[in-house]
Structure 1
Amino acid sequence: MHAFYINLDHRTDRRAEVEKEFEEKGLTVERFPATQYSPGAIGCNLSHIGVLNLAKERGYESVMIFEDDFQFLISKSEWDDLIAKLPASYDVVMLSYNLVASTPHDDTFHRVQEVQTTSGYIVHSRFYDKLIARWEEGARLFMQNPTMDWVYILDQYWKPLQPEAEWFAYKVRIGKQRPSFSDIAGRFAERDT
């Protein structure tokens, strides 16, 4: 499966940190230059849309997407074991998350009803168009209403798609957002998702 990480050109610190994470797991992950925009959250929206469009253009069956503050919480052997257990059929699989509501699926996965955070996730190609359309709509509305980030930011605006989709989250949290300075927030951010 092809993987991308999103990284602003000037954030060489985050680039070095996340590339070290990938190297330790034996992953080859392509850098996607993040879109610089003000406010930064709109740039984040546009960057994730750009990655999905590129995955679609290249014909990837699925794509793994990371933000540059992704930090693994598991060992390489655990990673290898868990990634081999992807559901037979899925639209989205969360690698890191703030799980708001879910139902049990099996020993490995929750079935998502509501989740947020886009620091690490997998999307199947059959869901590219649906997610791109939703996020493009959100980005357009966000640009028209830039103070309403809590409504139009990626990890909020995708929520209506979740209950109907084959959307899963690993029961073992694979990663989280590394504490660091956030260009989106304009301050140091310490999150546990």
Structure 2
Amino acid sequence: MIKVNWSFVDKIVYINLAKRTDRRESIEFQLKKMAVPPEKIIRFEAIERDEGALGCVMSHVAVLTMAKENNWQNVLILEDDMIFNDDEESHDRINYFFSSLTSIDWDAGFLSGSYFNIEQQHGCFYKISCSYLSNSYIVNQHYYDEIIDVFGVSIEKMNEGVSRYKCSLDIFWHHMMWRDNWFAIYPCVGYQLVDMSDIEGYTTDRVSYFSRTIDEM
């Protein structure tokens, strides 16, 4: 089995609500399965709000602030419903992706997501300008302030009563993708667990979102 070389990633932070011990078990199993060095892993206790999407973006901002304050070179943010593929090809794609980032100016990148607009650079390394779902993305150190500011506007809008469908973090980051250097692994190397969503209030099955063909995007 091909092993992922995690040396490129400074820290991996997974976001997990205190009450979701089932999700904590799941993501910790995933990280162990992927042979992530334990010293790189940090659990962030998710911020809970009545509006789950608000707590979500607040949690992401808190993690990015933590990364900034600790001067991490980069941070891979995972939500606790991330499931990594088990196949060698996916592991190889992760290594290829990390290696590609070392030789290019980059701001952020996806290991998986609900992609809609991607452009191949080489191999499985793609430029991306539209993607939803924030279950696995990496942010470069110089970009922390930029993304914190944009997510901050998302928080402000939700606090003003704007619908989360118009101002969630994975809506607000699109203009950054068009403008800046965001990249993605394609095909995705993971997907979102089929499970009860604390944001939606029901069981969500978005597995197909992570396996769209180019023609379906």
- By how many angstroms is 1:151 displaced? 1.4
Partners of 2:121 and 2:89 in 1: CA distance: 23
- Note the residue ranges of structure 2 that are not aligned, 5 or more in a row: 1-9, 211-217
2:94, 2:111 within 8 Å by CA — same for their partners in 1? no
Is 1:12 the equivalent of 2:15? no
Partner of 1:48: 60
Partner of 1:34: 46
Is 1:2 the equivalent of 2:11? yes
Calculate the aligned-residue CA RMSD, in Å: 1.5
Is 1:129 the equivalent of 2:167? no
- State the identity as a percent: 28
- By how many angstroms is 1:79 displaced? 2.4
Partners of 2:87 and 2:12 in 1: CA distance: 19
2:93, 2:185 within 8 Å by CA — same for their partners in 1? no
Q: Mark the CA change 1:97 to 1:20 in structure 2 (over 3 Å): closer, same or farther.
A: same
The code of the aligned residue for 1:156 comes to: I
Partners of 1:4 and 1:15 in 2: CA distance: 12
Is 1:109 the equivalent of 2:113? no
TM, length-normalised to structure 1: 0.94
Tell me the number of residue pairs that the alignment of Structure 1 and Structure 2 aligns: 192
Question: What is the correspondence of 1:11-160 to structure 2 with a 5 Å cutoff?
Answer: 11-27=20-36, 28=38, 29-75=41-87, 78-79=90-91, 82-83=94-95, 84-87=98-101, 88=103, 89-146=105-162, 148-160=163-175
Partners of 2:187 and 2:93 in 1: CA distance: 11
- By how many angstroms is 1:81 displaced? 5.7
The code of the aligned residue for 1:85 comes to: S
2:15 is paired with a residue of what secondary structure?
A: strand
1:24, 1:76 within 8 Å by CA — same for their partners in 2? no
